[in-house]
Amino acid sequence: MISRRLREAIRPKVLLHACVTALLLCAAAAQADVGAMVKQLIENQRRILVLREVASQWERAEARRAGQYLFFHNQELARALVERITHSLLDMPARYREMTNVLDESAYSDEDRLIVRAALEALSRRLPKNERRDAIRRLARLTELRKLLRADFDHAFQRIPLTVVPPRAAQWAAYVSRISGATSARKILEELDHELVGAPEPIADLTEAAARGHVLEWNGEELPERTVLLTFDDGPHSIYTPAILDILKEHGVHAVFFEIGHNLGEVSHGVATPGHNQSIVSRLILEGHALGNHSFTHPVLPRLNRQLIAREIADTQALIEVMVPEGHGRTHGFRPPYGARDDNVLAQIDLHHLRSVIWNVDSEDWADPVPESIAHRVVREAEKAGRGIVLMHDIHARTVEALPLVIRELRKRGFQFAWWDGQKLVVDPVSGMVAPR
């Protein structure tokens, strides 16, 4: 782990940065224009969908990283939107109307409005009676659209192997075609370039650690044939993580959850204090799952200097060590946000006695609104790779809906599930150990 001396040396600068950022975010939430927030949510979602349509192979990895970046920011923006609308009981009806006025603009379709579904669900539990009735009506309309978009996946799943291209409802295909015609993936990548690419520092003194980080990194190829490891990022979430735990328990599958530090608790003056999600973490461990480190604030790590990278890793690890007893629940895995890592990042991961854990099966649940399509993608990519680490996110409803189908379809095709037992990856008591490199 990082030394106490180094932690204390970098703490004042990082704390000042964190405090300033927190104050700015609080001020922004209080003053934010609700309409502008809704428009940004829709614009980001459109950009995500365009990035998913990238045809050029050379752009694929960057497009996925950029899409995940936009997805995470939309999650934060949606939370801020709910906070802004419900900030004042007196102003709640007016703020809600600001949101619906934008949603009802002719420039937006129901496909666009899907992005506010989670926000509407949260608001429907807190709004006054009249506004709550309106929110429920809007949710019902979006639910009907979701049913339409599911297309004929029952037929698609009967094929072994799956078809390369999943079924797609005509209405959704027309929508994606329309927004793709308004911009291009390359233009979006150029717009995001300054946010995703940093100015790396010299690493002359970290070369050995960086080299070890490269060698030790897991990417799914370490697993035996027909074996997958389910992983979930960005939690814990108060609603969706427990729902996912229910499904995993029902199906007898274990997973690794890569958690964000600020969802786990706080670290101040070297002291890690668990937050309100301690009960979820305790249940997660009790039921045989494991936790991994996913940074403290989910930044693009290559854009940070090495001291800030170290802090992002160390603070989350400190919380894990306080919240998770020694044993099967602790991993030495670190998942870089967006999969973004360079030699500086890999060196810091190694210096913290962790190893990078990436994925080779991306569910794209961060972009796809259709649970059956998400499941189709996971099964198709797992069949193509023959084995793999599956990336999913336990922070929204569509992953919860897709997960049972993912498990059933993978098992139907002869896949087994790996998990972490505290020292190694295992398949089950009969199959024995999965030998990581």
Say how far apart CA 31 and CA 91 lie, in whole Å.
Answer: 13
Say how far apart CA 312 and CA 116 lie, in whole Å.
Answer: 30
CB atoms within 10 A of CB 25: 14
Say how far apart CA 106 and CA 205 lie, in whole Å.
Answer: 57
Of these residues, 254, 352, 393, 396, which one is catalytic?
Answer: 393
Mark whether 393 is an active-site residue: yes
At residue 192's C-alpha, the angle toward residues 190 and 194, to 5°, is 95
Which positions ≥6 away from 38 have C-beta within 8 Å? 81, 99, 102, 103, 116
Q: Which two tokens stand for residue 198?
A: 């940093």
Helices (H) and strands (E) in the chain, counts: 18, 12
Of these residues, 233, 342, 343, 350, which one is catalytic?
Answer: 233
Q: Is the C-alpha dihedral spanning 278, 279, 282, 287 positive or negative? A: negative
* Strand-pair partners of 336: none
Cα end-to-end span (Å), the chain = 22
Q: Is the C-alpha dihedral spanning 119, 265, 351, 231 positive or negative? A: negative
Active site residues: 233, 393
